[in-house]
Amino acid sequence: MSEKKKGRPLSIEETVELFGAEPPEDIGDVQMDPISLGVLATKMGRKLNKGKGADMSELKESHRERHALLHKHLDELVADFITHTDGLPSKSTVFELIEWSYQQTLNPTKKAQT
């Protein structure tokens, strides 16, 4: 079994670059009780919807549809990872998958030679 090297945690800037995410936004203090978390979810749903006036059921359906699409793309990404690297998911880490995927955006490689 190959030895995994441990590194330092990624900075916010490195995480944003690796995942292609937007920088985090300050949402203020968050209380960890169910009511406050519900309010936070509503607030964030409205923010993500950018004032389009959708109610929560529309947001939930939109989220479900988006999640289904992301799941489909994740299946495709994992299949590509296996095909290109001969790496099995059970023998690889999520970080290795993400790192490989990001490198493919910079310099795509052909399928691994068997």
pLDDT for residue 81 is more than 60: yes
Residue 92's domain comprises 55-114
pLDDT at 48: 65
Number of folded domains in the chain? 1
C-alpha span between 6 and 15 (Å, rounded) = 17
Any domain includes 104: yes
C-alpha span between 70 and 77 (Å, rounded) = 10
Any domain includes 107: yes
Any domain includes 25: no
**Angle 56-85/94-106 helices, nearest 10 degrees?**
80
pLDDT in tens, 36-62: 777 777 777 666 666 555 566 777 777
C-alpha span between 101 and 98 (Å, rounded) = 5
Separation in Å, CA 78 to CA 15, 82, 94, 101, 114: 20, 6, 10, 9, 18
